[in-house]
Amino acid sequence: MRRGVLAGVVLLTALLLQAGVVNPLDLPVGHPDLLVLCVVALALVAGPTWGTVLGFTVGLAADVLPPADHALGRLAMAYALVGYAAGLLEDLEERSVVTTVVVVAVASGAVVLVFAGVGALLGDARVNATSVADSLIATILYDVILAPFVVPLVSGAARRAEPVTTY
Amino acid sequence: MRDSGRARVVLAVLLLTAFTLITLDYRSGSGGPLRRVANAVFGPIENAVGDVARPIGSFFSSLGHLSSYKSDNAKLRKEVAALRSQLRLTDADRARLDAEEKLLHLDQIAQFRIVAAHVSAVGGSLDFESTATIDVGSRDGIAPDMTVIDGDGLVGKTLSVGPTTTTVLLANDVQFSAGARLESSQLIGHVDGGGRGPMTFTLLDSQGTVKVGTRLVTFGDIGQRPFVPEVPIGRITRVVPTPGALTRTAEVAPYVGFDSLDVVGVVVSAPRTIKRDSLLPPSPSPTPSTPPPSSPPSTPPATPGKSPSPSPSRSG
């Protein structure tokens, strides 16, 4: 079950790096989101079922990990959807750098919008036009910059690891 | 096809689970039981990561600030030289002040009991929240709803507490709000974090005057939880015209640099009475530089305009 172990290690590392290293950095407008990069990279190899399970798990962990302070389940929902959608592209024939970047950009935008959308429904004061716009711009931009490096790395490692089971 | 059918079922189940969690957790607010468990489990790991990452992160962030470090360095050398020459003058003033204080029994300016902590992680959740994890917890005497300060002023308040880590809501978060008082007066209002926008101060008095440059301190709460009084917050930079409103609104430049938090202190107890305005540094005369208009500045280590007196609230 080596692919499962790899996925767990990758996602845990991404969680801790995001909170401990990436978020404290003083970057303009916002920060990249390592979790969406890893979820997309793993889902592109593992398919929609595993994509959504990995997305849900890492989203829930991100909801629970301190210092998060919002209703539990919001990030879980967002990453589960993105994991599913990215997993549907598992059988994409021509996968160039451009398509990877486009997928990451759409996924980053989707994560922000779903998270903000649920927040708006719950009446979260932190969700307003400027914060959503800033988060969208920053997350998409920084993730697109990191995508050509992170996604092939994680996808390659996942492909070489033993598959969990074949459905 | 089988795979996508199964995938859709799994997705539906997980979305329902997430929705249920949201509904359940929405009611319990910050500090619910699941968060306390997470604090206990993930806290030590985050502390370790923070300990390792802090020098690396500060190296990379310092690369971006090298030129300003050089000019800050030159400026600080000049200030030190000037201050040394001033010392001879203030010794005499200090002696007189000591005698007066003894007469009036003002021998304690403010004695906060503070637990010092490092910031080990900063929350983003896609940059919507402004929270931080610090590496002290209930074992060090921390409880929810305590004031968090650093040498410059008000940092925030504690939210949920684990055995070795605590989540802090920073003062520039949209959901942050604290009672505030204008210096040298009895006019009170509240300060609200603005997220990416500027912090705002709302004066609960439509007839009161708010002047640019006035400094704000916290107005303590009952039982001093969550806020102890007299902690410096920031300085008014712009008065927002609100004709016909029952309150007055102004933008505030906070003293604390939220992008570069490192060592903070949690106030675990404070004396019952603290002399008003005693924690603000003596007012500089005249104000050396015009404050920046809207966004809170990320203050470099030596804030120009602050006098050299050590803040009594800094822990050892």
Q: Is A36 within 8 Å of chain B by CB?
A: no
ipTM for the whole complex:
0.85
pLDDT at B78 over 90: no
A63 vs B contacts (CB less than 8 Å)? 21
Please count the other Cβ atoms lying within 10 Å of the Cβ belonging to residue B203.
22
Q: Name the token pair of B113.
A: 């009991």
Q: How many residues does chain A have?
A: 167
Please count the other Cβ atoms lying within 10 Å of the Cβ belonging to residue B27.
8
Q: How far is B151 from chain A (nearest CA, A)?
A: 19
Q: How far apart are CA A99 and CA B269, in angstroms?
A: 57
**Per-residue DSSP letter, A19:** I
Judge: A80–B129 Cβ closer than 8 Å, yes or no: no
| Displacement of CA B15 from its chain's centroid (Å) | 37
Specify whether the CB–CB gap between A111 and A36 falls below 8 A: yes
Instruction: Give residue-wise pLDDT tens across range B131-144.
Output: 999 999 999 999 99
| Displacement of CA B12 from its chain's centroid (Å) | 42
The whole-model pTM stands at 0.75
Specify whether the CB–CB gap between B290 and B312 falls below 8 A: no
Specify whether the CB–CB gap between B32 and A71 falls below 8 A: no
- Residue B124 — very low, low, confident or very high, per pLDDT cuts 50/70/90? confident
- Residue B31 — very low, low, confident or very high, per pLDDT cuts 50/70/90? low
Please count the other Cβ atoms lying within 10 Å of the Cβ belonging to residue B209.
12
* Residue A29: closest CA among B259, B293, B257: B259
Q: Is A39 within 8 Å of chain B by CB?
A: no
Question: Would you state the pLDDT for residue B30?
Answer: 64
Judge: B14–A62 Cβ closer than 8 Å, yes or no: no
Q: Which of A56, A69, A125 has its CB closest to that of B123?
A: A69
Specify whether the CB–CB gap between B76 and B302 falls below 8 A: yes
- Tens digits of pLDDT across chain A (167 residues): 588 888 899 999 999 899 888 888 888 888 999 999 999 999 998 889 999 999 999 999 999 888 888 888 999 999 999 999 999 988 776 678 888 899 999 999 999 999 999 999 998 888 988 889 999 999 999 999 999 999 989 988 888 887 655 54
Q: How far is B245 from chain A (nearest CA, A)?
A: 22
Q: How far apart are CA A36 and CA A15, in angstroms?
A: 10
Interface of A with B in 76-135 (CB under 8 A): 76-77, 80-81, 84, 87-88, 111-112, 115-116, 118-119, 122, 124-128, 130-131, 134-135
Sequence-ordered alpha helix ranges (H) in chain B: 2-28, 33-64, 66-104
Instruction: Give residue-wise pLDDT tens across range B94-114.
Output: 665 665 454 333 334 456 788
Burial (CB < 10 A; 0-12, 13-18, 19+), residue B273, is exposed
- Residue B111 Cα distances to B48, B230, B267, B279, angstroms: 32, 12, 10, 11
Judge: A52–B17 Cβ closer than 8 Å, yes or no: no
Please count the other Cβ atoms lying within 10 Å of the Cβ belonging to residue B94.
11
Q: How far is B179 from chain A (nearest CA, A)?
A: 19
Higher pLDDT, B151 or B127: B127
Instruction: Give residue-wise pLDDT tens across range B191-233.
Output: 999 888 899 999 988 788 888 998 999 988 888 889 988 888 9
Q: Which of B7, B123, B197 has its CB closest to that of A52?
A: B7
The dihedral formed by the CA atoms of B113, B119, B121 and B122, expressed in degrees to the nearest 10 = 90
- CB contact burial A113-150 (16+ within 10 A = b; e otherwise): ebbbebbeeeebebbbeebbebbbbbbbbbbbebbeeb
Q: Name the token pair of B288.
A: 């050396």
